[in-house]
Each structure stands twice: as C-alpha cells, then as structure tokens.
Structure 1
C-alpha cells in the first residue's frame, strides 16, 4: 500500500475481524481436541498403577489447558504491532500457532519478548515499530481500533488514528466497576512493565499509594514469571496470599484471564495445612501483632522450639546403640544457625548434620581397626552407612 493511502474504517475492522475469526477457529480446534483427549483418558478401564499415574498427569495437564482456553475466550487478541520491516504481529493473552507442520506463530503471548515493544515503544524510541494498534472486542466481535503512529514519516492512514495514544487507557479508567478486579494487559504502562518483567532473583517489593495499581502489577508479574520460568515454578507452585476471602474474591479472575489457572490463593489463616483460622483479634491484639518488633518475638519462639534432647536419646541401628546427647545436637544446631537460614528451610540442613553425626558414631563403632586404631572403611562404605541410617525410622523420630 502506497504512502498517503487512507483505508475506510469498515475495511480495517473487517480485516481484523477475519483474522480474529481465524484465531478463534484455532482455539475451538484446540479445545475440541483437548476435550476429546481428556474424555478418552478418563474412559480407560482398569490399568496398571503406572498407566493410571500417567493418565492422571495427562488429564491434569489437559484440564489446565482447557481452563486457560475457556478463560481467555472473551478477549483473546487485543493488539497488533506493525514493524518498519513490514512484518506484523498480533498480541494476545496466550500464544497460538498454526495447526500444520510449520507451527507458525499467529498470536504472540503478551509476555513474550517480541511483544514488549507493544508496551514500551514511543515516537521518540519506536523500537522498530511504525504503528501500534489496540483492538477492542466484545466477545468475538471487533468493535473498535485505535492506531498510534510511531514512525512520523509513515504517511499511511487507516482512519483509526489516536493522536494522543491514550484513548484505550482512558476508556479502561472510565469503564464501569463490577466489584471484581480486571487485568490491565491491554494498557500496561512502561513503568509497570519494568516491574512485571524484572529479573527473578529473590524478593521484589512494590511500593505505592492506594489505588496506584500495586496489586494488578503483582498479579501480572506472577503471570509473567509463570511464563518465563514455567518449568521451575511448576514444581514449586505459586501462592497468592491475601488478607481476607473478600480480597481474594476481588482479584480471583485476573490470573485466569491471563491464561494462568494453576495458581493457589489463600488467606494467612489458611496457610497451615489442615488448620483454618476463624477468630478475629481485638484491635489491641492486632496492633501488637502488627508491630515490627513482633518479628523478633516470633524469632525467639522459633528458637525455643529448637530444643536439645533431655535426656539422651538412644537410637538402635543394626544392633548398635547410638547415643545422641545434647552436646552432639548442640553442635549440629549451631552449625545450622550459622547458615542464617529460615527455620523451615534450615531443617533439612540440621537433619544433614544429625545424619553425619550418627554416621560418624556408627562408623567409629564398627569400622575401627583394633590393631592401629585406623579406619577400615572407605568413602563408599561411609556413604552406604549414611544412606542406611537415613532409612531408620528411629532417627527421624529422634529428630522430630
């Protein structure tokens, strides 16, 4: 299309609608195939244990995919970027590829690096874009387009130009409130994007006044981390902790709308398995518990739980009696504390020290040369002894 050519509004919307129809056809195909796979898996009769385990894993994975496909159905694609090179990419809540041997991307996940210019490009720094398009839909129908010209030398006009670039953001701010938080994936600002995509290297604190979008940014960051580090986080799981059930109900639809349906939500009173807190503190008690120095009080309580054995604990192992006294346990405890780990994390370290101590006691008992006092055991013998001690229930009863 040559410079200065202006397309009609209806032509542009019709073209986007045709593309959106292709995307939804792909989603419908994926949904049908996934549903069929789940049905076939559940229809399997009596099978060996290993086969049942594999079936359950398959059903869980495909059920998660189904939930994601259903969750994004209402607003699948919301943007397009036109590159100076002539290429175009549509941006959406999830990524989609063609159903052929090439598996060509037809919808770019908003979290992918390719999609980042959609949020960051400006006229001053176009990041290789000549145009950014916001696509507004109602269900599966395209209702409006808003184009931002980023290459000022580009003379092509579509009739949907947004001179300020703020139309979509203002529309989102003016949208009627429903009592539920909505995602901001279509209107993420540069400062928010920087937080959302910050490297995963420990604790990230997001500060801001009331109503500045801290919660929304945190939820989108969770979705981004699940995309960027899915294999790691799938093993550890992601937990969103809220102050009360009403808050969790308010934010509960955000992550599913971004294609993430496997995140756990809980209040503080639900964090301990099998225990559900129902009482409410008085204001005075809540004020005391909310003070910063309460952290020191809790730390001392935890240290009190790290008690020494009284009296000595006798552990029978392979017809030998190993005596675990307070001096031995104290050494293991101090070595563990020196690591500066939190209590629950440090437990594994402490267990390792105790196993090493018991291994040394047993090895000295059975492996000392009666003639010269040297050891008759090599490294592999010591490793085997440690493994066997680790399987002794009396050892774990003593540690507990």
Structure 2
C-alpha cells in the first residue's frame, strides 16, 4: 500500500467514525428517552385500582420492549453508505434514526431507499455512484470497502457478489453455535426474495449454504417493517425443523429489532401436549396422510355422538319418564345446526333433553314447569338421566380420543376404511405410550371438531374473563386520552390485547404461542420439504390468508424430490405458489459441494444447480479404517481438527460429528470418555450450542452448520436415504473429514472428465 493509499484509507475511516459516533449518539438519546418514561411510569403511586395497575404495567412493558429492541441493535449499528448522483449520501443501518432536529441520519435497511445498497450492480447502478460497506467492532470503525459502480460497464458474468470483501470475511469467520444475521452482506438474489410481496405462497428453493434460513428470517423482519399495521396484531410464525435449530437462530430477529415472532417446531404448535415418543418411518408416513381429516371427523361423529338404540325408561322424583331414539336424534341434530364444536355444542344437546325430561316430570306431578324450575335441577342431578344423556354425547379431549383409537386397531378400522391392515399395525400402540411428532397434526385436527374440553370451573373462569374483556377497550381509550398518549407510541388496540384476560402484560408472541386458535398474518417454514400433508393442514389453519414463505431444498428429502416438485409436495397450497431459486452457496467449499452433488446424482437423484462462492484447499479428506479401529480413528480426527481450529480461530469454531442415527449414542459415549478430548466442551443432545464438539445424526443436523464436520460411515447414511447423506456432507464451512470402513459411496471421491470418464478427484486428500 502506498502512502497515498494509506492516507486515503485513513481519511475514509475517520470520516465514517465521525458518522458512526453521530448515529450512536442518536441511539443513546432514544434509549434515554424510553428509560425516563419507564422511570416515570414505575414511580407512579401504588394506590391505583386493579385496572389502573394493569394499564400501568402495560405501558411499562411497552417501554421495556423498546429498550430491549434498541439494545439488540447495538452491535454493527451502521452497515454502509450509498453515494448517489448529485452528491447526496445515504447511510444504511439496522434501524432508522433521526438527529435532534428530526432529520433522518440512518436509513433502516428495510426502507425502500436502502434497496440499491443490495441491488445496484455495475451494469444496473441506478443513481448509485459508489457503495461503501462499513465494518465495525463495538462502536469503532475497523474497515471500509468501496465499490465504484461504472454505468459504462457491460460485463455481467460470474457470481456478481455484492460487497465481496465483506462477504468473504463473513464466510471465513469461525462459527460459535449461533446463527448471525447477514444484513451487512445480503446479495441481490437474496434481497429480491426478502422484499417480495406479503401475499401468497413464496417458495424459496435453495441448495445447502445458499442462505435460505437467513433469507427467511430477514424476510420476516422486512415484512414486519413494511406491513407493520397489518402484522402488529397477528404476528409471524416461524417453524423450524428441531429445537436445536431454534436455539441456533434465536438471536437473528432480535438483532434486527423484531420480537413479534413465534418460533417453534411443528410439534410445538399444540399448547399443553409434549412429544415423548417416536414413530417408525412407516408409522409417520401413515399418520401424515390427509385421510386423517375424514377419520377425525368420523371419530367424533360416530364414536362420541352415538344414537340411542331403543327407548329407555327410568324414574325421577317418583315419576316414570322415558327417552326415545327420536328424542336423542332431534337433540343431536339441533346441537349440530349451531355450527359449534362437539364439546361446545354438548350444552345445547343436554339442555334440550333435560328440559324434555323435566316436562315429563312436571306433567306427572301435575305441576307447571315454568313455575317450578327446581324440577330442571332434579333432572340434571338424576344419575339415570345423566348416564343416558352423557352416553349419547360423550365429552372428550383430543388426546383421550386419539389414545383410544390407537389402542384399538379394530375400533379404528371401523371408522377408517382408508387404512390397510399393515397401516393399522404400524400405528397401533397401548394407552399411556406418549405422543409422537406425527400425532400432533392429528390431535390438532381432532381439536377442530372437538373444541375446548373444560370442566364447570373452567367454564365459569372463561365466562368471567370474557365479561372483563368486554369492558376493557373503553377503559383503555379513556386512560390513553387522559395521559395524552397514542400518537404512534402505542395503540389502544395493542394495550387492550396486552391487558385482556390475563391481568398482566404479555407480548404478542407470548399470547400467540399459548393460543391454539391464534391466526397469524404470515408463516415462515424452514426445511419445508420435510412436512407431511397433515402438517400443512395445521399451518393453513393458523394462516387462513395463506401468506407464507417456505424455504427448503427438495434434494435434501430422504425420498428425493417429487416428480412435479413443490407444487406436488404442497397439495392445496400449490395452486398459489411462486418459486424463487437461490443458486450460490456461501457456506460450503466447492470441493465438498461438488462431491456431495456427485454422490447424490450417482444414487439416481440429480441435484439442482448450486455454485459455491469459494473453494478452500484441503477442504475434503477421507480416512479408511477397520471396524475395530473406527472409534479410535474418530477420536484422533476430532483431536487433530480441534487443534487446527484452536490455531486458526482461538476458542472459536465448532466441529460436528455426524453419524448414522443408530451410532450416535455410542460415538457420543466414546468421545465423552476420551481423555485426550477433555479440554473441549462436548454437546450430545443439542442443548449446548456454544460447545466446541457436537454429536448428531443427519436429521438433527438439518439447517445447521459447523466449521468442520467429521462424517462417520457415509455408506450407512446413504442407505437411510440419499438426502440424508447430502445434508451431512454439506454442513461444513471449512472442512469435511470422512471416516469409513467400507467403500465410499459412488461418486464421492471421483470426478468426470470431458468425455465422461471417471477419475479420482485430485482435490480430495486421503489421511
């Protein structure tokens, strides 16, 4: 670097440091403002009414939420700068900020004016003369990278990476077990997806490392910004493939300043039900079929709403009464006409029969029922009457009904002619066995027909809560008017919802997560290729508008891609989809990515086109060993690779040991018992994302990434499904080390020349 270049670089650093200082000063002023308001709210007298206390808590929570949001954007607040024609400058940041004169000094990265920062190219620069990427550490500017966009350029080949130096630096960073946002390095093809319209079903098809997950999360943040009024009362639901994955991504949206998002797995969508058992692949497939919609409906109608076979007679208060099949049928038909769920309609059914029997008792005693309502109470208390009425309309919870069906294949067969004997055998299990992930969608379907299952105490509580909420909106409006609040700070509707029913302040995400019937404004699904038809029904129910962002990779399905692609896979969602591809892998070195693609193609599953943004020397190694020496080889490899990580990344960096599912526990035991690995932390159950070493199977590894992966017995993983091996091979950002006892899968260590002849890939090392 010449003296002139060094001087120019320092001037740029000093210039941006001054601007960064100004931006942080504005951020500090906002924080101080919210802190002062919060202090004032908390200092108010504690002698208010219960309603006033609840209202005060809601305002306090609102200010606390904003303080948390502002703290979360502390790191890398300023992202870059646009130099526009005419000399105008725009700085881009995580959130929008104004100075004391209320002039905008920092554009939110999601604002329309910030779009050229991610989209402008040398061929299509628009009004952009120069794009500057600003790198910071804490509040100090550490580097700037300038791109001069020459409108006379006609070249438009290659990868066209935006902010290439910043992007390469981000790709080379060691992993720490948590996903970070990509807001500073979003690429043009990613930005187009992030800013796409809210409506309809957007499918993002992308190979490993193309940034699908990051794009989906940044799209969620963008939609909350661009559609604030629409989404502020409904929120966004994010579905991930596993709890490990959710822990991996849990810092991304807060760092983008958003919190009105519920993140869960598909099996976490049903409050109060925990998955404690697992299914075979065959059982999971059976339970995922759409025929369960009809089975659930028939189960409720035919097993719980039963006809009376013949007239029954009994005595109430010394009077002989009777209940006929026609009486029961009429009461059932009347209850169904109301359109209410089974458990909710039961009151209508029971009340009609109680009144009918009470009229018989009144006539038998020559009394007027209107003047002697105590007779209704006597009928309701009659053991005989309660038995006969209840048996024809049994209350039930979804869990009770499903356990009953799975415990009795004969009973299930009577209402499910669509299931074969082998289907019934695959899913049969005794009561008390626990519920599986595939059960959740069936339970959710049953809940639609059954409705809430409540005892008398719960019914009284619910009625009281509804009465309180009916008075709440007027109270909040009056209070906000008296306090002169609401002008964009917080809405009447938001406060009413926070205070409603609970008596304490709750975030939208907390309320939505606890409510099975909550409908979201938008749903984001990661690893969407894994969901069953019944699981898609769960999501359609929670988003009737069908506004969804679905990201995944059909090549990573164990069974491979369906013939008609996403349209076939998504069923009745398929008629509204628009598909956008991501074609550049920013994670996996080219040597590893190409080997994974060849292996998948050799298994009869041609892979979609994905190009790696970079390659690294020595990124793929293989070691053949014996069955007896396999564990020792894994330990030795892990030790050597951890040492290499220590040298390159200090205490940073992660290593994943991915093995066939049946071997994970034993390999975990081996690594935990190895004294030579004691200096590095080990995670065996996905709970310690900050550990150096992680042991998991390919299914658990979906959506995750590690600096280094030790892959054990790829041939066995291939036998479980080509998609599983493709997932396992494409998790590393630096190196894939394969330990195997048999032959490597076809295509893994070979490449083809122009004539189609196979030869060993010279870039693959053998240990």
Q: Is the 8 A contact 2:70 2:257 kept in 1?
A: yes
Q: Distance in 2 between matches of 1:311 and 1:232?
A: 47
Match of 2:251 in 1: 253
| Higher Cα radius of gyration | 2
Match of 1:219 in 2: 217
Q: Distance in 1 between matches of 2:112 and 2:296?
A: 44
Match of 2:31 in 1: 31
Q: Is the 8 A contact 2:162 2:186 kept in 1?
A: no
**Match of 1:265, SS?**
strand
Match of 2:89 in 1: 88
Q: Is the 8 A contact 1:255 1:261 kept in 2?
A: yes
- Pairs aligned (count): 315
Q: Distance in 2 between matches of 1:7 and 1:90?
A: 23
Match status 1:134 vs 2:133: yes
Q: 2:174 aligns with which of 173, 176, 186?
A: 176
Output one character per residue of 1:313-362: Cα deviation in whole Å (capped at 9) or x when no partner.
xxxxxxxxxx96555666776xxxxxxxxxxxx97xx99xx9xxxxxxxx
Q: 2:295 aligns with which of 290, 296, 301?
A: 301
Call closer, same or farther: CA 1:124–1:13 in 2, change over 3 Å: same
Call closer, same or farther: CA 1:324–1:116 in 2, change over 3 Å: farther
Q: Distance in 2 between matches of 1:126 and 1:52?
A: 55
CA positional deviation for 1:8: 1.7
**Match of 2:28, SS?**
helix
Summarize the alignment of residues 187-266 of structure 1 with structure 2, pairs less than 5 Å apart: 187-266=185-264
Match of 2:105 in 1: 106
CA positional deviation for 1:82: 1.0
CA positional deviation for 1:224: 0.6
Q: Distance in 2 between matches of 1:332 and 1:164?
A: 59
CA positional deviation for 1:288: 4.2
Output one character per residue of 1:133-157: Cα deviation in whole Å (capped at 9) or x when no partner.
000001110000011111458xxxx
**Match of 1:73, SS?**
coil
**Match of 2:133, SS?**
strand
Summarize the alignment of residues 145-184 of structure 1 with structure 2, pairs less than 5 Å apart: 145-151=144-150, 165-184=163-182
Call closer, same or farther: CA 1:9–1:207 in 2, change over 3 Å: same
CA positional deviation for 1:264: 2.1
Q: Distance in 2 between matches of 1:105 and 1:246?
A: 40
Q: Distance in 2 between matches of 1:199 and 1:305?
A: 41
Q: Distance in 1 between matches of 2:276 and 2:48?
A: 43
Call closer, same or farther: CA 1:256–1:324 in 2, change over 3 Å: farther
Runs of at least 5 residues in structure 2 that lack an aligned partner in the other structure: 153-160, 309-328, 349-458, 464-767
CA positional deviation for 1:118: 0.4
Q: Is the 8 A contact 1:129 1:151 kept in 2?
A: no
Summarize the alignment of residues 4-19 of structure 1 with structure 2, pairs less than 5 Å apart: 8-19=8-19
Output one character per residue of 1:52-106: Cα deviation in whole Å (capped at 9) or x when no partner.
3332232222222111111110110111111102211110111111233xx1111
Q: Is the 8 A contact 2:133 2:163 kept in 1?
A: no
Match of 2:42 in 1: 42
**Match of 2:201, SS?**
coil
**RCO (CA 8 Å, sep 6+): is it higher in 1 or 2?**
2
Output one character per residue of 1:293-316: Cα deviation in whole Å (capped at 9) or x when no partner.
x3313322343366386569xxxx
Summarize the alignment of residues 317-332 of structure 1 with structure 2, pairs less than 5 Å apart: 325=331, 327=333
Q: Distance in 1 between matches of 2:39 and 2:273?
A: 35
Q: Is the 8 A contact 1:31 1:66 kept in 2?
A: yes
When the two structures are superposed, what TM-score results if normalisation uses the length of structure 2? Answer: 0.38
Output one character per residue of 1:13-41: Cα deviation in whole Å (capped at 9) or x when no partner.
11110110111111112112212322332
Match of 2:283 in 1: 285
**Match of 2:257, SS?**
coil
Q: Distance in 1 between matches of 2:86 and 2:249?
A: 40
Match status 1:125 vs 2:124: yes
CA positional deviation for 1:174: 1.4
Match status 1:53 vs 2:54: yes
Match of 1:360 in 2: none
Call closer, same or farther: CA 1:67–1:43 in 2, change over 3 Å: same
Match of 1:272 in 2: 270
Q: Distance in 2 between matches of 1:164 and 1:132?
A: 9
Runs of at least 5 residues in structure 1 that lack an aligned partner in the other structure: 154-162, 313-322, 334-345, 355-392
Q: Distance in 2 between matches of 1:278 and 1:181?
A: 28
- Measured on the aligned residues, the alpha-carbon RMSD in Å equals 3.3
Output one character per residue of 1:340-391: Cα deviation in whole Å (capped at 9) or x when no partner.
xxxxxx97xx99xx9xxxxxxxxxxxxxxxxxxxxxxxxxxxxxxxxxxxxx
Q: Distance in 2 between matches of 1:23 and 1:143?
A: 16
